[in-house]
Structure 1
Amino acid sequence: MHSTKRENHFKLSRAFLLVIAVIPSLGVELSVDKTCNNTDINDLCSKHETCDACIQAHWCCNFCYEKDYKGQKCNNVFARLSETENKCPEDMLEKNFDSNYTISKNKHFTGTTDFVDKDEIVQIRPQKFEIILRRGEAVNISFTYKPVANYPLELYFLGDLSSSMLPSLEYVKKLGHDLPDTLKTLSKNYKIAYGSFMDKPGMPFYFTDEENFRNPCFATTMGSCEMGYLFKHRLNFTGDTHEFDEKIQDSQVTANVDDLDGALEAILQILVCGKKIGWSENSRKIILLATDSLLHMAGDGILVGAVKRPTEECLLDDNGNHSQPFKYDYPSMEQIVTILRQKKVNIIFAVKTKKKMDYYEAMSRSLVKDYGFVGQLEEESTNILDLIKQGYNNFAEQVSFFVNLTNHEHLEVKFLADCDNTGYNETSTCYGVKNKEINFTAEIRLKDDTIMNDRYSDTIYIEEKNINETIEISISYVGNCKCQGGQKLGLNCSHGRERCGKCSCDSEWTGENCDKPCKGADLHRCRKEENGTISRICSRNGDCICGNCKCSYPYTGTYCEFKCPSIEGKICSGHGNCEDGKCFCRKEYEGESCSCSTATNNCDFDGAICSGQGKCICNQCKCEADFSGKYCELNKKNNTICEVYTSFLADTEKNETTRIKRHGIYDVLPVEKSSIEEIEGQPICEQVLFMGNYRCTHKFSYSKENTTILLPYTKYCTMTASFGGMIGGIITGVLTVLAGLLFIMIHKWRIHRQDQLEYKKFLENQGKFSDAFNPLYLSPITEYENPQSRKNYK
């Protein structure tokens, strides 16, 4: 059994409490835990007369239910270790405990890819905790998730065999060895099953005349196709891909009337017929829905006479056909998602058209959420293998935990996760998980307003969303006295029962023997009278029950007159108990509201509290004058932490083979990043390094994780001025020579071009004249024409 320091403390506390019941009878004195040896706590214990109230008041309070015991029945047992007169018999002492936990099951992670017994696959550890829980005090348990390689994969191929999917079916028939090869890249331990769907075979979804009913493609150019059906399961899960290929080859398309089909009905049967179709207990379960149609949902069944709400009964006959398509309505998407969550199954929606992609994406975002993945099929579904890979990686590379508290409304569970090894954040989900370990913490709390009644224990389970592994948490509550080992004292409790040496009365009854009915006059006992002034009933902060005030949150006191300090809705910050408006803090907290932690881990960066320039108060540094920062590392001139760690970056750049350095007891790990951001508001450091002919500017931040100091950094390098100037001069000279040569070449080309044009023009003009004609000759003859000669006389 694995034990932490906190567990050891818990075991010692339990053993110590057993011992102290016996020590007084021996007349032995010994030193005690100072956290319980406290006058205020002793006074707090002494106010309570019933066992339950005593135990709930503080973990140091213990109750003696021996009838003839003459001492204070509820007492801080540590305060009376030296008493020799008033001793409570050991078997009549109700012992108290602090909130704590032990690990009761912690198998090692599965380290092999060849699983002999798949029931023994371990990806989460520890597997079982036992918790002691007090009201108002949280218990934090830590666990780790580590994905195992080749975790079993089961893929159900659900095909839409409507006539419009014929090209896709023809392509799937050609996959041959491609499908098993693809599945092997995801997991060597895979199985595949196959089924197809259409719709409820009745009007108005099908034509029901004889010809069309037997052959839904009768009126189309396709000739013939398979008779209509709602869902056919064709192949149980198998690792034999040849058998899958044979079933695909035998498949035929069918047809119906509308564009909405019965895929949800098919999915429901795949989910609820787990044993019949061969789902395994431990596997990653995925349904691949390949379709180009929309979905019939709850309410549509009335059109075909199916009105009953679907049950979780398997309705497949021995041939794999849906046996009662007209009895039950289509399931709602809410019902499907609920069963997906219960069965830990994911869906890949492989959709053929963009318009219908929008429909499935909207549905996935609002309803299916993390249980669904939507991808678009290309023409003839040629990318279906890629969609299987994308969908599988989408599910396999995320881990998400939850607790079903439907029957445990008195509990609160909050998750924190260190998803990328940079520190814990409040989340239950991490993405991008591959082969690394992810650490989680679950904070479990009993709500402050919980009425204990007879609640002694509970069992809850932390579950992972997609795999069938859980963490069992057995909870024992401190607050209801069990009085184990005590003898019945023979009290006559007329309207109640004997508990821990007193009568516990039923509602509306009171008195030592529960024989007195509550009266209206008892209301007066719920009013505080002081200096002649009478208060309202229970100060208007609670209810009066048989003369006793039952206070509302967050009030306490005999008359509910005290308001308990609270922060963020938690009494005493969740770190203590409240009595009469005063907080009694757990040993690691202090202050009026128990909000001040006595730890120093947030003040200590590398061994020096607040860099020696401040004090750690409530686990935060209060800096001296002229200093600031989370660790008081900043002053007007510099950052002292930056100055210390600049040398580590320089060493890293000079010696790439040795990246981890030592600084005292800490490992220093510089990590180069593409960009750098401030961590928790801490400033970004900057340094300049000259490396050969380059000037490199480094920017880095700093954080601490256990005993490792992380230095994420970026660098930007430029050539130095001297080297850059020399290179610049050479380049300038070369460019000048090249520019001169280019100018000369261009000028010579222009002259050559002009000569060519002039010569071409000369040749063109020369061809226009004959040898007998001299273009320079002018004729001496002048001709004139009488303009009257142009008139036409009749």
Structure 2
Amino acid sequence: MDQFLLFLLLLLMGRNGLCQQEEVCTKSVINSCDDCIKSGPYCVWCKQLNFTKAGEQEAARCDTKAQLKARGCGEEEIISPNISIKPEKNVPLSKSFNQQEPVQLSPQEISLKVRPGLPITFNVSFKRVEGYPVDLYYLMDLSYSMKDDLANVKKLGESLFQALKEITEHAQIGFGAFVDKTVLPYTNTNKEKLLKPCDEEEADQQCQAAFGYRHVLSMTPSEKEFRNKVKDQYISGNLDSPEGSLDAMMQAAVCGDKIGWRNSSTRLIVLTTDAGFHMAGDGKLAGILEPNDEQCHMEGNLYIKSSEMDYPSVGQLAAQFKKHNIQPIFAVTKNMEAVYQQLSNMIPKSEVGVLTSDSGNIVQLIKDAYNRLSSKVTVTHDNLPDDVSVVYKPICKHPQPSDNEGICDNVSVGEEISFEVTVTARSCMERKSFTIRPLGIKDTLTVTLSTNCECECEVDETNHVHCREKGRVSCGICRCNDGYVGQFCECAIGDKDERSLRASCQRQNGTECENRGDCVCGRCQCHRTEQGSYFHGDFCECDDE
């Protein structure tokens, strides 16, 4: 019975808000209004004259608003720096693509004025534009085992363009090919084998010389141009099973001018292969020690650093895909599905599809992968300052859980969704900026963040009677003229300086009056204890309790 009553009591407390966290001001060393504001998100300052009692530290002016009001501080006498949200640029969302720069994210610029430790929340809206352009770069493995697949790819120009036109009227396609580095142990370096690395059993087999990565066709809306360029491609070969696909994808990502990526488009790389991939560190097998520098090294449409520079790491590739808003689709054979699924797990906004043995299903695979990629909207941030955290709450039909991103799934074209963004700064800072963006989308929101850690108090132009005519009032406390110190500037220090007077109030531990009193004219004036008696001793180090 007792346990049941306890349960009912806890339930009632929860319903009445008694279990909610109370606003608390945790004070440390407070000598001014600025110290108070910096000490905690709920700390405010009372500037009311004579608010503190005789012998009471000015730190008593610092507390929560509720506590100060309960102790008699008027509402208009409480200093609590304001927080603010100010949209600086807020162009409305576009409905459809009309050859101009569409807007899919709003606002585009926002300024925040916050208090350290106090969260501030604003909303970001997103809408998929109808008819948004698509740039698709078809990146094909031309090692010998892909011979049948190449024959089919040469025939798919019409169906591939038709599939893209169902998505948008503004579609372009490019083409590139890769095998592997042309050095041992990846490729047979015999002169004849380099020139014709294909299977010798098929003497009539057209075969091109070994190569690492070749860019074949820049982005074009012309089906005929695509068909003619692909028709001229022939199979090649190498020795080991993993290929140089990461080399190829890195160059396709960073060589934007060569590839022809448009500024406003959905950028897709479709990688087709039946083999795994080499990655950073594998170059050591060939004595290649120079790390991949993530730069474009294309001359005559060939990657010229293939035999000099190591493969990129998965992390490097993921970073460049994110930087250049590229979404990869890994079209691989069934035996490679698990390998590329692991790769996809490490590269945001990527998809894996399973090819048939001759790539006959590639068009449908691309359509399905594109629909999955474009209907999933993931909002994240870049260049986040130290001591700043961001939390996203998706507001949509199909929100997905995530620790540091906002994710909405199954978002249709023209559907407007939003994300509740909560920003918290944990320390004082001036004009720091970071970027919020949807992955794979060009649009960004620039957030400029400043903290309000100072009190804006008027300082009397003349000496104030409250300060014995020896100082001016600021934020309710005295700012003494040179030669005077004390709570009311009542102490004339003559040729001494304030530091030496305060030193005489400190014991070996350096604490002034043991934090139990005020140093006035070089002597400690001790405070009352909680029970009503006074601390005593030269440094207020004693009590009678």
CA change 1:151–1:516 in 2 (3 A) is: farther
CA change 1:59–1:122 in 2 (3 A) is: farther
The yes-or-no answer on 1:234 pairing with 2:216 is: yes
CA change 1:193–1:176 in 2 (3 A) is: closer
The answer for the alignment partner of 1:620 in structure 2 is none
1:255 aligned residue (204, 225, 237) = 237
The separation in 1 between residues aligned to 2:33 and 2:142, in whole angstroms, is: 69
1:410 aligned residue (378, 387, 391) = 387
**What letter is aligned with 2:418?**
N
The separation in 2 between residues aligned to 1:233 and 1:446, in whole angstroms, is: 46
Q: State the 1:198 CA deviation.
A: 0.6
The separation in 1 between residues aligned to 2:420 and 2:75, in whole angstroms, is: 38
The yes-or-no answer on 1:106 pairing with 2:87 is: no
CA change 1:401–1:521 in 2 (3 A) is: same
Helix, strand or coil: the match of 2:297? coil
The answer for the alignment partner of 1:267 in structure 2 is 249
Q: Is the 8 A contact 2:279 2:313 kept in 1?
A: yes
The answer for the alignment partner of 1:69 in structure 2 is none
The answer for the alignment partner of 1:460 in structure 2 is 434
Identity of aligned residues (%): 27
**What letter is aligned with 2:116?**
R
The separation in 2 between residues aligned to 1:234 and 1:267, in whole angstroms, is: 14
Q: State the 1:501 CA deviation.
A: 7.6
The answer for the alignment partner of 1:744 in structure 2 is none
Q: Is the 8 A contact 1:142 1:441 kept in 2?
A: yes
Q: Is the 8 A contact 1:211 1:218 kept in 2?
A: no
Helix, strand or coil: the match of 2:358? helix
**What letter is aligned with 1:466?**
G
The yes-or-no answer on 1:386 pairing with 2:367 is: no
The separation in 2 between residues aligned to 1:276 and 1:484, in whole angstroms, is: 61
**What letter is aligned with 1:107?**
V
The answer for the alignment partner of 2:310 in structure 1 is 329
Helix, strand or coil: the match of 2:298? coil
The answer for the alignment partner of 1:471 in structure 2 is 445
Q: State the 1:392 CA deviation.
A: 0.7
CA change 1:110–1:515 in 2 (3 A) is: farther
The answer for the alignment partner of 2:510 in structure 1 is 523
1:320 aligned residue (301, 306, 330) = 301
Alpha-carbon RMSD: 3.9
Post-superposition CA distance 1:718-762 (Å, at most 9, x none): xxxxxxxxxxxxxxxxxxxxxxxxxxxxxxxxxxxxxxxxxxxxx
Helix, strand or coil: the match of 2:389? strand
Q: State the 1:424 CA deviation.
A: 11
Q: Is the 8 A contact 1:59 1:98 kept in 2?
A: no
Post-superposition CA distance 1:271-311 (Å, at most 9, x none): 11123322223221111001111101111112222111100
The separation in 1 between residues aligned to 2:242 and 2:456, in whole angstroms, is: 61
The separation in 2 between residues aligned to 1:523 and 1:238, in whole angstroms, is: 75
Q: Is the 8 A contact 2:398 2:408 kept in 1?
A: no
**What letter is aligned with 1:129?**
I
Q: Is the 8 A contact 1:197 1:262 kept in 2?
A: yes
**What letter is aligned with 2:446?**
E
The separation in 1 between residues aligned to 2:184 and 2:342, in whole angstroms, is: 29
Q: State the 1:268 CA deviation.
A: 0.8
Helix, strand or coil: the match of 1:206? coil
> Unmatched 5+ residue regions in structure 2?
1-22, 49-57, 462-477, 482-496, 518-526, 531-545
CA change 1:476–1:296 in 2 (3 A) is: same
Helix, strand or coil: the match of 2:315? helix
The separation in 1 between residues aligned to 2:454 and 2:392, in whole angstroms, is: 27
The answer for the alignment partner of 2:341 in structure 1 is 361
Post-superposition CA distance 1:331-362 (Å, at most 9, x none): 1112111222222211111112x222222123
**What letter is aligned with 1:359?**
V
Q: Is the 8 A contact 2:121 2:420 kept in 1?
A: yes
Q: Is the 8 A contact 1:418 1:424 kept in 2?
A: no
**What letter is aligned with 1:430?**
C
Q: State the 1:382 CA deviation.
A: 0.9
CA change 1:459–1:63 in 2 (3 A) is: farther
The separation in 2 between residues aligned to 1:313 and 1:49, in whole angstroms, is: 54
1:207 aligned residue (164, 188, 209) = 188
The yes-or-no answer on 1:374 pairing with 2:352 is: yes
Q: Is the 8 A contact 1:412 1:444 kept in 2?
A: yes
**What letter is aligned with 1:173?**
K
The answer for the alignment partner of 2:417 in structure 1 is 438
- Superposition map of 1:498-517 within 5 A: none
The separation in 1 between residues aligned to 2:389 and 2:444, in whole angstroms, is: 18
CA change 1:529–1:294 in 2 (3 A) is: same
CA change 1:405–1:112 in 2 (3 A) is: closer
Helix, strand or coil: the match of 2:198? coil
Q: Which has the higher contact order (CA 8 A, sep 6+)?
A: 2
The separation in 2 between residues aligned to 1:151 and 1:378, in whole angstroms, is: 30
Choose 125-134 or 250-259, whichever is displaced more: 125-134
- Size of the alignment, in residue pairs? 441
CA change 1:254–1:437 in 2 (3 A) is: same
CA change 1:216–1:360 in 2 (3 A) is: same
The separation in 1 between residues aligned to 2:438 and 2:457, in whole angstroms, is: 38
Post-superposition CA distance 1:25-75 (Å, at most 9, x none): xxxxxxxxxxxxxxxx9x999x953342144466764889xxxxxxx8979
CA change 1:520–1:219 in 2 (3 A) is: farther
Task: Please identify runs of 4+ aligned residues in structure 1 that moved more than 4 A.
Answer: 57-60, 72-83, 421-427, 480-487, 500-503, 511-520, 526-530
The separation in 2 between residues aligned to 1:131 and 1:349, in whole angstroms, is: 41
CA change 1:502–1:432 in 2 (3 A) is: farther
Q: Is the 8 A contact 2:81 2:454 kept in 1?
A: no
Q: Is the 8 A contact 1:340 1:371 kept in 2?
A: no
The separation in 2 between residues aligned to 1:481 and 1:55, in whole angstroms, is: 8
Q: Is the 8 A contact 2:96 2:131 kept in 1?
A: no
Q: Is the 8 A contact 2:294 2:316 kept in 1?
A: no
> Structure 1 length normalisation: TM-score?
0.50
The answer for the alignment partner of 1:180 in structure 2 is 161
The separation in 1 between residues aligned to 2:89 and 2:124, in whole angstroms, is: 12
Q: Is the 8 A contact 1:54 1:62 kept in 2?
A: no
The separation in 2 between residues aligned to 1:416 and 1:141, in whole angstroms, is: 11
The yes-or-no answer on 1:303 pairing with 2:281 is: no
CA change 1:175–1:527 in 2 (3 A) is: same
**What letter is aligned with 1:211?**
E
Post-superposition CA distance 1:66-107 (Å, at most 9, x none): xxxxxx897999967999xxxxxxxxxx98532231222221
The separation in 2 between residues aligned to 1:470 and 1:227, in whole angstroms, is: 44
CA change 1:273–1:50 in 2 (3 A) is: same
Q: Is the 8 A contact 1:141 1:443 kept in 2?
A: yes
Q: State the 1:381 CA deviation.
A: 0.9
Q: State the 1:405 CA deviation.
A: 5.3
The separation in 1 between residues aligned to 2:166 and 2:420, in whole angstroms, is: 33
Q: Is the 8 A contact 2:399 2:407 kept in 1?
A: no
Post-superposition CA distance 1:524-569 (Å, at most 9, x none): 4495569xxxxxxxxxxxxxxxxxxxxxxxxxxx9xx9xxxxxxxx
The separation in 2 between residues aligned to 1:486 and 1:187, in whole angstroms, is: 68
2:323 aligned residue (324, 338, 342) = 342
CA change 1:425–1:333 in 2 (3 A) is: closer
CA change 1:291–1:54 in 2 (3 A) is: same
> Structure 2 length normalisation: TM-score?
0.72
Helix, strand or coil: the match of 2:373? helix
Q: State the 1:315 CA deviation.
A: 0.5
